């Protein structure tokens, strides 16, 4: 488990380093093409500020995308006490707790570290689970926080947004240069700019396409691939927290029987949920943020025989 935590911290450094290297190269290229160093500096500065804002605010944004409503002990004592007992037993800080007004059966965890963590459960989960099942699900979510899985997911979530912003910047810049102009003098000026700036426009188009592919397809696929592997570890860690793997197995069985797509879902936040918030099917399984439920149950059953 400690090796997994250390690996997640190393992955965080690697991801951020690659991200900074990519945008530094893009900024340097733009400065060289335009002959103006401030073009690259401005882009790099914007991306750095955007990334910092994402890092510190993305957890609240992700909860907001899910429609989470923050609760306390008085408003929803059952969920609050479940999370509180797990936090105390593991010596972890108490995360912020949310109810997600959705009839789907799910839960989620997000946050850059255990001291800035958020956990949530859907109304559907609270309706269908017994006390021990709810404890198993929330232990799984607390395990993601303990193992720093949520930090890796949060950073990837933020980087996907940064690449999306870069793609939009490229499109806006291209349309600004090559957009149609009215009037003879403006038309002549627009034609001159088109000839002068064509190499830059081609480069920006290429960068925009790459950034869009990363933000819309590659980034979510990488995030989901990482998420699938971390789910197994979170299941095992959660089972060790409660000493009751059958509780999590029972909850997974119920989710498999009564599952439905979440009302509010986003591909960028899918890996933050307990189970895949999208509808099932072959395509969904290929690009799912979670391993098959049957596989998770089988691994928990093996763990129950070996350790309990």
pLDDT tens, residue by residue, 17-60: 777 777 777 778 777 766 778 877 877 787 778 777 777 877 78
Q: Residue 179's pLDDT is what?
A: 52
**pLDDT, averaged across the chain:** 76
pLDDT digits (tens, 9 = 90+) for 88-114: 999 999 999 999 988 888 888 988 889
Task: Name the H helices within the chain.
Answer: 2-34, 37-66, 77-90, 123-128, 131-146, 149-178, 184-213, 219-242, 245-258, 282-286, 293-307
Kindly give, in sequence order, each residue whose CB lies less than 8 Å from that of residue 210, ignoring residues fewer than 6 positions away: none
C-alpha–C-alpha distance, residues 80 and 133, integer Å: 15
How many Å apart are CA 84 and CA 106, to the nearest integer? Answer: 19
Report the number of distinct structural domains present in the chain. Answer: 1
- Averages of pLDDT over runs of 10 residues in the chain (308 residues) are 59 69 76 75 76 77 84 93 95 94 86 90 90 94 89 75 74 61 47 51 72 72 70 87 91 79 53 60 56 84 76
CB 268 within 8 Å of CB 158: no
Catalytic center residues:
141
Rounded to 5 degrees, φ, ψ at 99 are -105, 130
Burial call 215-238: b when 16+ CB within 10 Å, e when fewer: bbeebbeebbebbbebbebbbbbb
What distance lies between CA 163 and its chain's CA centroid? 14
What interhelical angle do 245-258 and 219-242 show, nearest 10?
130
Residue range of the domain that includes 121? 2-307
The 8-class DSSP code of residue 214 comes to: I
């Amino acid at each position: 488990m400690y090796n997994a935590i250390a690996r997640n911290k190393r992955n965080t450094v690697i991801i951020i380093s690659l991200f900074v290297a990519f945008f530094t190269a893009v900024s340097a290229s733009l400065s060289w093409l335009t002959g103006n160093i401030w073009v690259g500096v401005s882009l790099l500065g914007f991306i750095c500020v955007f990334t910092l804002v994402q890092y510190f605010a993305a957890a609240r944004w992700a909860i907001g995308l899910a429609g989470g409503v923050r609760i306390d002990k008085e408003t929803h004592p059952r969920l609050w006490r479940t999370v509180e007992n797990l936090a105390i037993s593991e010596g972890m800080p108490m995360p912020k707790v949310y109810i997600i007004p959705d009839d789907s059966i799910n839960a989620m965890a997000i946050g850059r570290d255990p001291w800035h963590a958020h956990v949530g459960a859907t109304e559907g989960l609270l309706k269908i689970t017994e006390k021990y099942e709810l404890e198993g699900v929330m232990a799984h979510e607390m395990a993601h926080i303990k193992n720093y899985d949520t930090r890796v997911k949060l950073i990837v979530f933020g980087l996907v947004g940064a690449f999306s912003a870069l793609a939009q910047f490229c499109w806006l810049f291209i349309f600004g240069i090559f957009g149609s102009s009215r009037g003879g003098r403006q038309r002549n000026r627009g034609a001159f700019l088109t000839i002068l700036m064509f190499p830059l426009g081609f480069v920006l188009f290429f960068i925009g396409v790459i950034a869009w592919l990363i933000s819309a397809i590659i980034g979510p696929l990488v995030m989901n691939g990482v998420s699938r592997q971390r789910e197994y570890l979170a299941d095992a860690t959660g089972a060790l927290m409660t000493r009751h793997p059958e509780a999590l197995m029972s909850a997974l069985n119920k989710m498999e029987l009564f599952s439905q797509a979440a009302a509010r879902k986003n591909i960028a936040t899918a890996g933050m949920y307990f189970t895949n918030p999208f509808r099932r099917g072959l395509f969904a399984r290929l690009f799912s943020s979670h391993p098959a439920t049957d596989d998770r149950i089988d691994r928990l059953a093996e763990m129950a025989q070996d350790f309990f």
